[in-house]
Amino acid sequence: MSKILLTGSSGFICSAVLKELLTSAHSVKTLNRSKQAGCAESNSILFSGFSAENTFTDCFENIECILHCAARVHIMSEDSSDPLSEYRAVNTEGTLNFARQAAEAGVKRFVFISSIKVSGEATKLNHPYKSTDLPDPCDPYGISKYEAEQGLELIAKETAMELVIIRPVLVYGPGVKANFLTMMKWLSKGVPLPLGAIDNQRSLVALDNLVDLIVTCVDHPNAANNIFLVSDDRDVSTTELLLLLGRALGKKTVLIPVPMRFISLCSSLVGRDDISQRLCGSLQVDIQHTKTTLGWCPPYSLEQSLQKTVNAFRQENKA
């Protein structure tokens, strides 16, 4: 049984991690900016946020492992005049300040939830990212996460604290927001979509699969000082994903076979190449290293996980 400190426990991913840990034999404390539902008040530590100046010394008593999920999350419509500085302040400088103090306090392991954006934004079809590839972050969020990884690796080398880095791809599951939620809303209304001829491949990871990997990394001896990519271990095209979601919703899916070149052209004309990339581009990961090192496989299939996601969506929206 490990004594764990969990950060970011009100977020989409780590609220699910917290729920899983509370049903296990692990002892859990949470570090929050507000009171956290589901965790006894005695196990919830309030703080003002992550920065280069904050002191966390009182948080680490008897803690063996930190699961660091807290971050300034990726924002699709960024309106800051200097987004990189804002991401760095929390994701890089705040994380490294926190980790240094954890190492000095004798914390044995630091599990950092990073992002596939550290690896890059896209892959060539059937040429997935591997954990050994040179990082190529492109946007401020990815850069801030990569710089945090670099700093954490240095801290691990200089101290006795073990480091585990996890880079998830797009995470979906009950309560998912952003583009995944938008897709479900379109499909539930039977909106025809011009996405019937998308010949790409994308890796996804179900929330339950990601949580299982994170919990595995708490005390697995082979996890120490490794970088793990994670997915459902089954890639799908945008077209296939929409068809699977429509089937899970029990709705007729109307997909118009518009050529990808035309979608890319239209996106470029309105200055939104990012839309074309998300709909038509490929982003695949190879998780063989994760599976081999940890003896781990995703416990839930893509179809199971999509159905669970859809069931939660229908319950919330009475669809």
Inter-residue contact 27 to 15 (CB < 8 Å): no
User: Which stretch of DSSP H or E encloses residue 164?
Assistant: strand 162-168
Chain-centroid distance of CA 189 in Å reads 28
Active-site pick, 141, 146, 172, 300: 141
> What percent of the chain is helix, strand and coil (3-state, nearest 5)?
45, 15, 40
Q: b/e map of 284-319 (b: 16 or more CB within 10 Å)?
A: bbbbeebeeebebebebebeebbbbbbeebeeeeee
Q: Is 141 a catalytic residue?
A: yes
Q: Residue 271 burial by CB count (10 A; 0-12/13-18/19+): exposed, middle or buried?
A: exposed
The confidence score (pLDDT) of residue 259 equals 87
Full-model pTM: 0.93
Kindly state the DSSP code that residue 93 receives in the 8-state scheme: I
Kindly state the DSSP code that residue 260 receives in the 8-state scheme: H
Tell me the C-alpha distance between 9 and 11, whole Å: 5
Full set of structural domains in the chain with CATH: 3-172+205-233+284-300 (3.40.50.720)
Digit-by-digit pLDDT tens for the chain (319 residues) are: 579 999 987 789 999 999 999 888 788 999 877 655 545 555 777 676 787 888 888 889 889 999 999 888 866 555 667 889 999 999 999 999 999 999 999 999 999 999 999 999 999 999 999 999 999 999 999 999 999 999 999 999 999 999 999 999 999 999 999 889 999 999 999 999 999 999 999 999 999 999 999 999 999 999 999 999 999 999 999 999 999 999 999 999 999 998 888 778 777 766 777 777 888 899 999 999 999 999 999 999 999 999 999 999 999 887 5
